[in-house]
Chain A
């Protein structure tokens, strides 16, 4: 079939199975957009900023596991995608970003709207391409999606010069993907699996530490089977939230800086840390030399570079979480291993009872945690995707929401990108039209991409934004309060500016304001029941902190705030807990 490069690009997207493009046009991208205009199988969503487009593709991928395409123009269109790409790279989220480029003869001449986007994105993409021959397009696109979605997923960028998208070629499909330098290891080494299974069978105080890799490899069933078979408590990271049912008796919560105390105590006391699809991020480990020092460590990950990167490992397993967990369970069944964690679970449950998450429920003030708890209660019977911005809103959401199924959570983990939540919610809503999609936002973050309210309105995507409006950059203010003598440099916003209800009105959204506890449920319910997009501006107390908290660089069992309770060594000595397993 003869067609130009632009049409070939769109045809290849159709053939690879792409159902949605988040795209913002411009001069040299026009041949591609002209071809998109004819596509019947691809829905094209026009964001209001290229950064929004990338976060939308990101949100879409987090709830589906599939890669969407982003298409933008050259120069500023391309550079505006950089934050979104870096965000996806840090969190291992698959997507393919197409950037138009100036024509090949003028590349390198500082032509109008030229930028070296393959150079710029080199360290933040899994791979990238500059296509110089239109005949290469089908193959490059097939490769790009293959690379983005296999192994450790991630963003791939394809730069398409204007003359390439105008050149006539003979389109051929299917194409063979031949990447001799790219062979991810899926199957864990049998000897290592056996060794890990032996350790698990013997462990008296094991702990599963599960992350985004569980979601990427769809290993939630296998995780649950292993945990239940051996009765091992499960801590899920921010990226792994939803990988394990959060109403399960073995569910622990998020480890690290703002994790509940009992999770960090368990991490400090465990004798076998079974880390799967995680990367021992500093927000989890705190001071590395004090992290899980009593434990042998099993670390399974599809990316060999993650194993031993931060924490020395006793049993390294390179492989995908799904296969590795299934093999571990099979190996343990074969040897008829029995759980030996009764005593350990008693200790853990005791910690859980004594050190629950805690905030002031008595004052009657509108607390941010209460807002999140009410969101949880009001959505408990509705299929819901929860998105967050970054900062206090994100930590409160992670602490107080209870996920019931995997892939219903979208939060910027590694990069911590303010402004992620709303466009991610829009992308998630595109993928999950039947779900309620809620962005738990802060008054700072929401203003970083609030232009996407137009996208939601025009594309009829009924997302809900609940703003925990405290008039501050809350997390910055919290650090200034704790570590900078309350000198609130550049962290003071104004609860009244903008008037979010009027902003909602301006975009044709349903808007409401909550200033007291009494108004909260009705406003949230009305927003959730509204057929279109809706915003709730919750005027929460100004100077609430996210507790408990590990001071930066501190040991994770020494936490600020929350219910009284010192380092775990004190917990073990105070008589309340006896070391029954010794």
Chain B
């Protein structure tokens, strides 16, 4: 069955590790939809969050191959129902003075922040799950999005599971 998976991969924080991980996906013809990397609470470790779509069986094979990488410590295929996931987006929006108010209102509805105000633009920072940010993007499109930067998804499993 084909579906989107969010893989949380704990790796050693060393040069070249990201290449090792991503090239495994490329070699097997997977397109990575989203990727985020950052250091964890332990500075010798990084967490790579990968969103990828594909057949369950072939993805399982990639996960097994990932496990074989010496620098990979742990892989979780996060259950969508049992994870917290967030992305961050920066929108730079066309905002002539007469329309600023509407835009700020939209930002407020989405609990986004105005982080920069220009003569004709507003820059909005928003965090949330993918679908929320996409909905916001749709609304803002009517005003004209001049630039957009979006991070990859980061995710953690919900705390209930850890306590068990």
Contacts and interface: CB of A to CB of B under 8 A. Distances in A.
B61 interface: yes
Given A122-B19, A122-B23, A130-B16, A181 B64 contact: no
B21 to A, nearest CB: 11
Interface string B1-44: 00000000001100110011001000100000000000000000
Contacts of B20: 122
A535 B67 CA distance: 46
Contact of A305 (B15, B23, B61, B71): B61
A182 B67 contact: no
Given A122-B23, A305-B64, A309-B61, A127 B16 contact: no
Contact of B65 (A130, A182, A305): A305
A300 to B, nearest CB: 16
A343 to B, nearest CB: 37
A281 to B, nearest CB: 16
B122 interface: no
Contacts of A130: 15-16
A123 B27 contact: yes
Interface string B35-78: 00000000000000000000000000100110111111100000
A118 B16 contact: yes
Contacts of B72: 181
A179 interface: yes
Nearest to A128: B16
A303 interface: yes
A179 B70 contact: yes
B16 A147 contact: no
Contacts of A304: 64, 67
A310 to B, nearest CB: 10
A305 B70 contact: no
Contacts of A303: 68
Given A305-B61, A309-B61, A181 B16 contact: no
Interface in A266-305: 303-305
A180 interface: yes
Nearest to A118: B16
Nearest to A307: B64
Nearest to A303: B68
Nearest to B74: A181
A148 to B, nearest CB: 11
B88 to A, nearest CB: 29
* Contact-residue size bin, chain B (C-beta under 8 Å from the other chain): 10 to 19
A396 B133 CA distance: 64
A118 B14 CA distance: 14
B104 to A, nearest CB: 47
Given A118-B16, A122-B20, A123-B23, A181 B71 contact: yes
A182 B70 contact: yes
A147 B69 CA distance: 11
A180 B71 CA distance: 8
A181 B44 CA distance: 13
B10 to A, nearest CB: 9
A305 B16 CA distance: 22
Contacts of B12: 180-181
A182 B71 CA distance: 8
A468 to B, nearest CB: 37
Contacts of B65: 305
A119 B70 CA distance: 16
Contacts of A305: 61, 64-65, 67-68
Most-contacted residue by chain B among A127, A180, A181, A303 (CB, 10 A):
A181
A180 B73 contact: yes
Contacts of A126: 70
A305 B23 CA distance: 17
A222 to B, nearest CB: 25
A534 B68 CA distance: 43
Interface string B108-132: 0000000000000000000000000
A181 B71 CA distance: 6
Contacts of B67: 304-305
A271 to B, nearest CB: 25
Given A118-B16, A130-B16, A305-B64, A181 B23 contact: no
A504 B136 CA distance: 78
Contacts of A119: 19
Nearest to B44: A180
Nearest to A309: B61
A181 B70 CA distance: 5
Interface string A172-202: 0000000111100000000000000000000
A281 B11 CA distance: 31
Most-contacted residue by chain B among A119, A126, A305 (CB, 10 A):
A305
Interface string A190-221: 00000000000000000000000000000000
Interface in A370-422: none
Given A118-B16, A181-B12, A127 B70 contact: yes
Contact of B70 (A118, A123, A147, A309): A147
B138 to A, nearest CB: 40
A179 B67 CA distance: 13
Nearest to B20: A122
A304 B67 CA distance: 9
A183 to B, nearest CB: 10
A180 B74 CA distance: 10
A181 to B, nearest CB: 5
B146 to A, nearest CB: 35
A119 B71 CA distance: 16
B50 to A, nearest CB: 17
A118 B19 CA distance: 11
A123 B12 CA distance: 19
10 nearest interchain CB pairs? Answer: A305-B64, A127-B70, A181-B73, A182-B70, A181-B72, A305-B65, A181-B70, A181-B71, A304-B64, A180-B73
Given A303-B68, A304-B64, A304-B67, 5 more contacts: A123-B23, A127-B69, A181-B73, A305-B61, A309-B61
Interface of A: 118-119, 122-123, 126-127, 130, 147, 179-182, 303-305, 309
